């Protein structure tokens, strides 16, 4: 019962964080992903900026009067809800080493969100801009970016949250169980060895 209650509390905390973090988190993702995108392109032309819960994609070579495409950021970052739901099942989550592990996992999760934005923008460039996409992206690159984008949305975002919980947060459970003052596995009294008689 306690496990279910902790998981429910984690779900609500994740939902609140995911909902309330925008547009601040959107601005962070735009500022972090933009230099990566500019590094990957020649010439560097991409500009990103956040509007509410979307990222607007601009380029120096777009026509000045053309409409700027935008991407929803929600579906790239909602794995934070799964991650906090799983993490909340850990006892003493906000104490000592557990908090350090949790913060480290959040940092890695943020890096994967930046990477997801980069991939989403490349998918937009490769597949959704009509003649411009066909002129600058060949069949191989279109399939590569489209496949990577589909993989993240269908499986990767969930797998990342699970792996971070499993590798960084969950190991603290066994460590906490062995700390002094906490109940652990009981061992029976040690039996004294019986002296052997001379045969």
Q: What tens-digit pLDDT sequence spans the chain (199 residues)?
A: 888 998 999 999 999 999 998 889 999 999 999 999 999 998 899 999 998 889 999 988 887 777 889 998 888 999 999 999 999 998 888 887 888 999 999 999 999 999 999 999 999 999 998 888 999 899 999 999 999 999 999 999 999 999 999 999 988 554 444 444 544 455 555 555 555 555 4
Cα(64)–Cα(132) distance, integer angstroms: 15
- Go through the chain and tell me how many residues it has: 199
The first and second tokens of residue 117, run together, are: 């934005």
Give the pLDDT of residue 176.
Answer: 44
Rounded to 10 degrees, the C-alpha dihedral 72/75/79/81 comes to: 80
The first and second tokens of residue 48, run together, are: 């990103």
What's the distance, CA 3 to chain centroid? 23
- Cβ atoms of 70 and 52 closer than 8 Å: no
Non-local CB neighbours of 159 within 8 Å, separated by 6+ positions = none
Give the pLDDT of residue 177.
Answer: 44
The first and second tokens of residue 189, run together, are: 């009294």
Element (H, E) at 48: strand 46-51
Give the pLDDT of residue 175.
Answer: 44
Element (H, E) at 54: strand 54-59
Give the pLDDT of residue 17.
Answer: 92
Cα(122)–Cα(40) distance, integer angstroms: 10
Give the pLDDT of residue 56.
Answer: 94
Place of tokens 């409409």: 67
Rg (CA), the chain: 24
Main-chain phi, psi angles of 89, to 5 degrees: -75, -10
């Amino acid at each position: 019962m306690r496990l279910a209650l902790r998981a429910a509390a984690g779900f609500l905390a994740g939902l609140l964080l995911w909902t309330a973090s925008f547009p601040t988190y959107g601005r962070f993702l735009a500022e972090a992903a933009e230099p990566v995108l500019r590094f990957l392109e020649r010439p560097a032309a991409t500009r990103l900026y956040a509007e509410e819960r979307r990222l607007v994609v601009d380029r120096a070579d777009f026509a000045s009067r053309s409409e700027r495409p935008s991407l929803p950021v929600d579906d790239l970052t909602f794995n934070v809800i799964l991650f906090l739901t799983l993490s909340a099942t850990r006892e003493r989550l906000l104490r000592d080493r557990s908090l350090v592990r949790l913060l480290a996992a959040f940092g890695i999760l943020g890096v994967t969100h930046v990477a997801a934005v980069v991939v989403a923008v490349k998918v937009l460039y490769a597949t959704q801009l009509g003649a411009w996409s066909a002129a600058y992206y060949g069949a191989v690159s279109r399939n590569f970016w489209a496949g990577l984008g589909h993989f993240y949305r269908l499986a990767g975002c969930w797998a990342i949250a699970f792996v971070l919980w499993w590798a960084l947060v969950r190991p603290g459970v066994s460590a906490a169980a062995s700390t002094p003052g906490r109940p652990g596995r009981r061992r029976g009294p040690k039996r004294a060895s019986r002296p052997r008689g001379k045969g």
